[in-house]
Amino acid sequence: MGIIENMRLDGKKGFVTGAARGIGKCTATAFAEAGADVAIVDLDFAEAQKTAAEIAEKTGRKVIAISCDCTDPDQVDAMINQVVSELGGLHFCHNNAGICINAPAEEMTYAQWSKVININLNGIFLTDIAAGKYMLSHGGGSIINTASMSAHIVNVPQPQCAYNASKAGVVQLTKSLAVEWAKKGVRVNCISPGYIGTDLTLSSPTLIPLIEQWNAMAPMGRLGKPEELESICVYLAGDTSTFTTGSDITVDGAFTCF
């Protein structure tokens, strides 16, 4: 089979968390365009349903919507069971749900800190483990986590210590699981995007004033586009990446190179 055929995801089943919009919506669309059946997992069930219907109409694949709080172990287990039941298996997942709270460290409340860590790190752990358990007992699979260039640098000018710490944790969790499962057929990788111009980012009154500063610092002078993360995720989900595990792939337009 040639390289192009190996990039296809025909017959594969997977899910994407935080997929109702933004990066998750883009990667879910790409997975479906590559031939996979996909579950759109999000707390915003109404928006997840809209996204699922849109992707299904565009690609002709089976696309379902699932409501799930990824910080709740019972809900995560139920989500995995629903994916397997309705799609017929689980071969890959993109654990992408996350939030950021910008607050100076000396003013950040413990509740704010805990919320970011709980969603960004604990939620990734729960979805990784639940998906991994299924894959370990069903012939293997590929897990993709969304980390961030914030795992490697301290962003300025916005204060976001909780976010940075959580994403650094995602990178180390990814590497740790990859080593533990390397001989068991389950691959675990993460992507570390730079500043990405999602609809939410581009419409946020808080972030709009910062974009000009970010672009001035960026070697490419612009934000990335969500679509520029699609191909790397399709690669990681498919059969051309069978020797790729424990990798943190930075997609940031060279922002972290200086």
Q: pLDDT tens digit string along 41-61?
A: 999 999 999 999 999 999 999
pLDDT of residue 205: 83
Q: Is the pLDDT of residue 10 over 80?
A: yes
CB burial of 58-91 (b: ≥16 within 10 Å; e: otherwise) equals ebebbbbbbbbbbbeeebbbebbebbbeebebbb
Say how far apart CA 178 and CA 187 lie, in whole Å. Answer: 6
Helix ranges (DSSP H) in 88-122: 110-117
Among all residues, which ones are annotated catalytic?
A: 148, 163, 167
Q: pLDDT tens digit string along 141-159?
A: 999 999 999 999 999 999 9
pLDDT of residue 207: 83
Q: What is the DSSP letter of 187?
A: E
Write out the two tokens for 140: 């293997």
Enclosing H/E stretch for 23: helix 22-33
pTM of the model: 0.96
Q: pLDDT tens digit string along 89-145?
A: 999 999 999 999 999 999 999 999 999 999 999 999 999 999 999 999 999 999 999
Q: Is the pLDDT of residue 2 over 80?
A: no
Q: pLDDT tens digit string along 159-198?
A: 999 999 999 999 999 999 999 999 999 999 999 999 999 8
CB-based contacts of 15, cutoff 8 Å, min separation 6: 38, 39, 40, 41, 66, 79, 83, 90, 93, 94, 131
Q: Is the pLDDT of residue 1 over 60?
A: no
Nearest Cα to Cα of residue 93 among 188, 192, 172: 188
CATH number of 3-247: 3.40.50.720
pLDDT of residue 3: 62
